[in-house]
Structure 1
Amino acid sequence: MTTNKVILAIDEGTSGTRAATVSADGHVSCLEYLALQVQTPRPGVVEQDANVILEKTIEVCRSAIAQARGQGQEIAALAIATQRATAVLWDTQSGRALVPAMVWQDTRYVDELDELAPQWDQRLLAHVGRPVGVRSLYLWAAHHIRETPQVADAWRERRLAFGTVDSWLLWHFSQRRECVTTPTNATSAGAYVLAGHRYHLDWLATLGFPVELLPGLRQDADDFGRTRMEVLGIDVPILASAGDQHAGAVGLGCLDRGQAMCVHGTGSFVDLIIGPEPPVNDGLFEGSLTMTARRQDGVSHFAVETFVATTGSALNWVCEKLKWFKDAREISALAATVDSSRGVTFVPALTGLRVPRMEAAARASLTGVSMATTQAEVAYAILEGIAHSVASCIEADEAVSGVRVCELVVGGGLSGSDALLQIQADLIGIPIRRMQEADRASLRGAAFLAGSSGLLWESLQEARKTTVTDAVFQPLLDEGERVRRRGLWHSRVASELEHAGQFKRDKEEVLEK
């Protein structure tokens, strides 16, 4: 049996962990998956067992390796993509996590952070690309060092380690046993100086986090040492470690200034690649964050990221709770039978709005309904509401970055809806490109980063040539109609924001009485 070189890629997400091999033609094979549990023991607290994350990641890796050997594949390197901004504290003697990991959705310290926001928001936006926000990994760790005996003991005895999930996996997988992280992960943690590739030490001091615990900063494509044979059963170099969203962008071929990526899941994330120069209007919109898209060969490439919290979940809500449709496929099929919503508008703000401004009190709405409204027009309006929300994200990203979007590449569950993507192209006025195997983009992107310095490809641009387009949706709406529909959307959103403002004013009056 002939052998062929492949890269073993890990995609360790919040709901599950995957491992697969990626070959020089970009094909993903030997895919293994195990689900992960998330615990919410009390409001605002979101946790995972880091020890289980490690065990299941090792299990899927060993299964994928066994498959690869059976197929005559030769594993040449390891690449890792991980959930971002989930923090772990562990004992370097036992190798075990000391407390449950704090997941990126956690908001337990929001009140404490709110007190720091007036003094720190603008300073952080200028250097870190994001405000104080609602969670802090470093504040979480500082609290544990002060309040949790086993963590305090480990810190006092110099056997405590801290890091995000990439740091946790790399420490266990690499023979070097270094505690390190990469820019696409560190950016989301909230203390990484984007232009300087360093930490914001004054902010960390304010949070009470000891700088001695900081993971070393590497690049997303870098030499992380060789794998430990006793852990994975292979001895190969680890050549990439990236945040899953950014690995996904690379895997979808989004590398160039002006390319944007939209991943439709529970919510919809929109990342605009802007290149080595930082955005010109950082902080213009509270809901648009500056990210490191990747760092390679000593150069950081940036992106501006905005998201809509409830898109896929809005479809589930309409189908499962309201029982208006059987499933999302029926919504898409019905929407395809009409050419507009006839003035019906759906704003999918089930957990509030982020664009044009952050407003948690905003609510979802269905407006413009009359006796003549049909089910198909409501279906169209629901998809159009998602498309409008993504269009608003793109407008915000363009305003913050000063970069025009030339193409939107899409992935995720909802990207399978032709009706949604055609509406999306019409409302933005640019082509929408759907890629094949978009659900495996993070695996492919991590492998691209690991193998693009001559191992499997000579460059990321060469690796990108292996991606395959499934369909391209060209805008068909004339400019006047596009402007009219966007104007109606903006007026409906403004109305929701006004309602939210009135609700808060009424609530304050009641409390005062």
Structure 2
Amino acid sequence: MPELILALDVGTTSTRTLVGTADGHVLGSARCPIPSLFPAPGLVEQDAEGVWTLTRRVIALALAKSGHELADVAAIGVTTQRASIVLWDRATTHAVAPMVVWSDLRGLPRAASLAALGFQVWPQTPACKLEMALGDRDPRALAWGTLDSFIVAKLSGGAAHVTDVSNAWVSGYMDFDRFPAWHAGLMAAQNLPEGLFPKVVESWGAIGEADAGLGAKIPITAILADQQAGMFAHGWPGRGAWKATYGTSAVLMVSMGPEPTSPHPTLPVMALAAGEGEVLFCFEGMVITAGAFIDWLCQVGLFASPADLQAAAESVPTSGGAAMRPSLQGLGAPHGRFDLPALIGGLRPGVGRGELARAALEGLAWRIREIAGTASEAAIDLPESLPVDGGATANDLLMQLQADALQRPVRRHAVRDATAYGALVAAAMGARLIGRDDLGRLAHYDRTFEPRISADEAEAGYAAWAKAVLP
């Protein structure tokens, strides 16, 4: 009997596949970078067909590394970057336009006009950009969805046009009064037919079947947005569970359980997941450019690579007064200022590469502290330590700076690709190979970083950074 899980994690900068067992043992993995195009300042696009081709490639590579074949796979879990727009031909599943990536800011003007009409949107949601992505194309022959929906359509040969609640929520098209229904009033205001939209399904369970896309009939048993999938990697995301993921962006997420409330208007409420008739909600705060900010510092020639930046930062004891605001695509929670670019301040004689590198890492750590401070207003008892995951957590100095900034222990997940790992365990749950009570024992950590500075030092450091770079 097939017993393995295939987890697909199609992110913003790379597509990854894990092959593992239902008890969380990873047998093989592979990843491949995804190139982005920047046709104008603030605009970000990707080739959706190219992303699918790369995803097929990493599936084959991960299976080969695991020593297994598709016939050994019992279930597939899918997680992807959130809020990106893909349009494809309903008959052929071929993408008809470039994918508009979630961080693209072309929706700023439309967000203002929709807000004036009373719709609850923010500029990065597909609701503010789908009309521009459609252009003059006839929507009746097309399907649209976030990237998860496109990947599932490809896997199923077009048989499934679906998305889950965690992805649907961040589209801007959810009717919060009739959740989980699409907002008929917004669709009418934009003259968009209901048939253009995917069906909203639960996050795990019998979702569809991979057939033509892989050449094998394998149940698709989980769909989750990537940040929400990361919550499952750390155990069952009941009320009070929290985590931070450090990838292209950095996101702090706190589960509210079944109650859709938020402690602060700039920490948006999200649907965390839905399954077995239960819907879980969370609130989150985002550092929009985190790993992307590090990559940019390398692309402009300040550092040869992220590893070079880390080495430079480790070579000095302080940032020497230099300070950075990592906001290339706007300043996220708790500010919600998408018009504010990144900022580097505190430059003076004596500030060199090492100090600049350290300032970059400190900027990320202080931003998470800022968001955590806003989250602490919630009437939720948070665990003492913060679980973390994502590629940037391999940077020990960043994790130490984060523990210092928060004045809390930081626990690093043993699987850096924890969003993929979360899709794996969710798919295993959707295939009824494990239950929710099993998730806690499947969360593994390889190191805990304890604060090394005093609370007074942390407070003074945060205050100096905030004075230098915050509006």
1:82 corresponds to which residue?
A: 80
* Matched ranges for 1:235-254 at <5 A: 235-253=217-235
Structure-1 residue corresponding to 2:345: 366
1:474 counterpart (434, 438, 450)? 450
The Cα shift of 1:111 comes to 2.0
Q: Report how far residue 380 of structure 1 moved.
A: 4.7
What's the offset of the Cα at 1:324?
7.7
Name which of 398, 401, 424 aligns with 1:423.
Answer: 401
User: Does 87-96 or 295-304 show the bigger shift?
Assistant: 87-96
**Does the 8 Å contact 1:138/1:204 carry over to 2?**
no
Worse-matched range after superposition: 408-417 or 248-257: 248-257
| Correspondence for 1:27 | 25
Instruction: Indicate which of 323, 333, 336 corresponds to 2:314.
Output: 333
Structure 1 position 186 matched with structure 2 position 164: no
Displacement of 1:181 in angstroms is: 0.9
Contact 1:10 1:19 in 2 (8 A): yes
Q: Which of these residues, 115, 121, 134, is aligned with residue 123 of structure 2?
A: 134
Q: Quote the Cα distance in structure 2 between the aligned partners of 1:280 and 1:134.
A: 19
Give the stretch that moved more between structures: 418-427 or 306-315.
Answer: 306-315
Partner of 2:427: 450
Alignment of 1:118-267 (within 5 A): 118-120=116-118, 124=120, 132-138=121-127, 140-142=129-131, 147-148=135-136, 151-152=137-138, 155=140, 159-174=141-156, 177-193=159-175, 196-228=179-211, 230-253=212-235, 255-267=237-249
Q: Which moved more, 1:61-70 or 1:23-32?
A: 61-70
Shift of 1:203: 2.4
Q: Which has the larger radius of gyration?
A: 1
Q: 1:366 to 1:221 in 2, by over 3 A?
A: same
1:202 positional shift? 1.9
User: What CA distance in whole angstroms lies between the structure 2 residues aligned with 1:376 and 1:138?
Assistant: 42
* Residues 1:393 and 2:371 aligned together: yes
Note the C-alpha offset of 1:218: 0.4
Partner of 2:279: 300
Cα 1:171–1:416 change in 2 (3 A) is closer
Q: Which moved more, 1:80-89 or 1:356-365?
A: 356-365
The Cα offsets for residues 258-296 of structure 1, whole Å up to 9 and x where unpaired, read as 33322223442222222221224452x2xx322222222
How far apart are residue 345 of structure 1 and its match?
4.9
Contact 1:434/1:470 (<8 A) preserved: yes
AA aligned to 2:397 is A
Report which of the two has the higher share of helix: 1
Residues in 2 aligned to 1:386 and 1:175: alpha-carbon distance in whole angstroms: 41
Amino acid at match of 2:10: E
1:332/1:379 contact within 8 Å kept: yes
Distance in structure 1 (CA, Å) of the matches to 2:74 and 2:315: 48
Deviation at 1:31?
A: 2.1
SS in 2 for 1:212: helix
Do structure 1's residue 291 and structure 2's residue 270 form an aligned pair? yes
Equivalent position SS for 2:15: strand
CA separation of 1:289 and 1:4: change in aligned 2, threshold 3 A: same
Report the CA distance between 1:385 and its aligned residue: 2.8
TM-score by structure 2 length?
0.86
Shift of 1:210: 2.0
Distance 1:252 1:108 in 2: 34
Distance, in Å, in 2 between the alignment partners of 1:486 and 1:437 is: 30
Equivalent-residue separation in structure 1 for 2:288 and 2:264 (angstroms): 21
| Counterparts of 1:222 and 1:191, CA distance in 2 | 23
Whether the 8 Å contact between 2:223 and 2:423 is mirrored in structure 1 is yes
Q: Which amino acid aligns with 2:281?
A: F
Aligned partners of 2:446 and 2:65: how far apart in 1?
27
- Indicate if the aligned counterparts of 1:48 and 1:102 stay in contact, CA closer than 8 A: yes
Aligned-pair identity in percent equals: 27
Distance of 1:141 and 1:422 partners within structure 2: 41
Residue 107 of structure 1 corresponds to 105
The CA deviation at 1:246 is 1.6
Distance 1:254 1:395, change over 3 A: farther
1:469 Cα offset (Å)? 0.9
Q: Please, which runs of 5 or more residues in structure 1 have no aligned partner?
A: 125-131, 498-513
Unaligned runs of 5+ in 2: none
Change (3 A) 1:254 1:142: same
Q: One-letter code of the match for 1:208?
A: N
Q: C-alpha displacement at 1:434, in angstroms?
A: 0.7
| 1:424-443 pair list within 5 angstroms | 424-438=402-416, 440-443=417-420
- In the other structure, the counterpart of 2:325 is 348
Are the equivalent residues in 2 in contact too, given 1:138–1:209 (CA < 8 A)? no
Q: Is the 8 A contact 2:287 2:327 kept in 1?
A: no
Partners of 1:482 and 1:167 lie apart in 2 by 43
2:403 and 2:451 in contact (8 A); partners too = yes
Q: 1:243 to 1:314 in 2, by over 3 A?
A: closer
- Quote the RMSD (CA, aligned, Å): 3.3
Residues 408-417 or 388-397, more deviating: 408-417
Please give the alpha-carbon distance, in whole angstroms, between the structure 2 residues aligned to 1:349 and 1:72. Answer: 42
Separation in structure 2 between the aligned mates of residue 137 and residue 450 of structure 1, nearest angstrom: 26
Confirm or deny: 8 A CA contact 1:175 1:226 kept in the other structure: no
SS at match of 2:31: strand
Does structure 1 residue 52 correspond to structure 2 residue 50? Answer: yes
Paired with 1:38 and 1:259, the residues of 2 have a C-alpha distance of: 33
Decide whether the 8 Å contact of 1:139 with 1:209 is kept in 2. no
Q: Distance in 2 between matches of 1:362 and 1:107?
A: 12
Cα distance 1:170–1:356, how it changes in 2: closer, same or farther (>3 A)?
A: closer
Evaluate the alpha carbon distance shift between residue 36 and residue 476 of structure 1 in structure 2; reply closer, same or farther with a 3 A threshold.
closer
Which of 32, 38, 42 aligns to 1:40? It is: 38
Q: Structure 2: how far apart are the matches of 1:239 and 1:251?
A: 16
The 1:28–1:375 alpha-carbon spacing in structure 2 relative to 1, beyond 3 Å, is: same
- Contact map agreement 1:12 1:83 (CA 8 A) in 2: yes
Spell out, residue by residue over 1:9-31, the C-alpha distance to the aligned partner (whole angstroms, 9 max, x if none): 11122333232312133122332
